Amino acid sequence: MTRVLITGGTGFLGSWCVLTLLEAGHTVRTTVRDPRREPALRSWLHAATPFDDDRLTVVRADLADPDGWDDAVAGCDFVLHVASPTLRHAPAHDDELVTPAREGVLRVLRAARAAGVRRVVLTSAFGAVGMGHPPRSTAFTEEDWTDLDGDVPPYQRSKTLAERAAWRFAAGEGAGTELTAIQPVGVLGPLLGPDDPPSLRVVRRMLEGRMPACPPFGMGFVDVRDVADLHLRAMTDPAAAGERFLATAVPSMRMVEIAHVLRERLGERAAKVPTRELPLWLARALGVVNPEMRLLGHQLGRDLAATSAKAERLLGWRARPVGDTVAETAESLLALGIGR
């Protein structure tokens, strides 16, 4: 029986990866920073699918702490390294995110190599692919890398440097353990349990009426369930070894298009959702006084398009329609009392 370690099992994507692998028949070990969250995680998973409790083990390990990783990886055939440090506030400096992300991935890779793990699937991000570049009319592909000499926010900088470090490790001292990297765009979709993942906040704020007009930009979006499925395919398919895979359901979708989907699919429950897009000049002016708009400064006025043609061609992966994902994201938030 295949045993898989998934880091960050209580996170939005991590919990869906745990569920997807349990449903596929694998034995899963997952890391958490706080062991007190294990009962909640098991409850979420049992509500979603039947499984034998002995096929899931929860262990404590923290990306910022070297202890525990050798034990976490021991006996595992594969590792899905999904966990990544995030902050609930804007970092005072880049190192608050960069150092734990880069050192964390190296801790996991070293432990995986020492344990004889066959393949590590790293959850990177579109932020490691398409940031810091001048405007372009073509979609970003896996051949692209974020230009760190450009305007790159701390989180995207951390993902870029962490993935770069992973590939350097794989090419050197990590020889013998295969590496594959997944770069999701904006991840939406239903929650398994009450949580506040940053990627769902745009939908939540629209539902709550906290966004009087939509910021003028577009980007790709993808369903969390499809990203978890891509991790499973990347783990098991020989064609995935040594490759990067972008994950997106649509090349680019404007924020106002998301708003229109919510209005059409949810009716009166989306009465607070905005229906217009801010003029670009006004959005930039608001960035001077509005911290949230300031964080979007590198995206305003742009459509950051990406393509998943490679994952579709090599791994047979397909994403569900993005409109369904947007609507089910909102339904999930409302069912949990979030966004009302």
Q: Are strands 253-254 and 303-304 parallel, antiparallel or unpaired?
A: unpaired
**Which ranges of the chain would DSSP assign to H, the alpha helix?**
12-23, 38-48, 69-73, 95-115, 154-171, 201-208, 224-236, 255-266, 280-286, 291-295, 309-315, 322-335
Q: How far apart are CA 42 and CA 118, in angstroms?
A: 27
CB–CB of 63/158 below 8 Å? no
Which is catalytic among the residues 159, 225, 233, 302? 159
Q: Is the dihedral of CA 192, 18, 54, 196 positive or negative?
A: negative
CB-count exposure of residue 193 (10 Å: 0-12, 13-18, 19+): middle
Q: Are 119 and 178 in contact (CB under 8 A)?
A: yes
Query: Catalytic: 310?
Result: no
Which position has the token pair 């990347």? Answer: 234
* Catalytic annotation, residues: 159
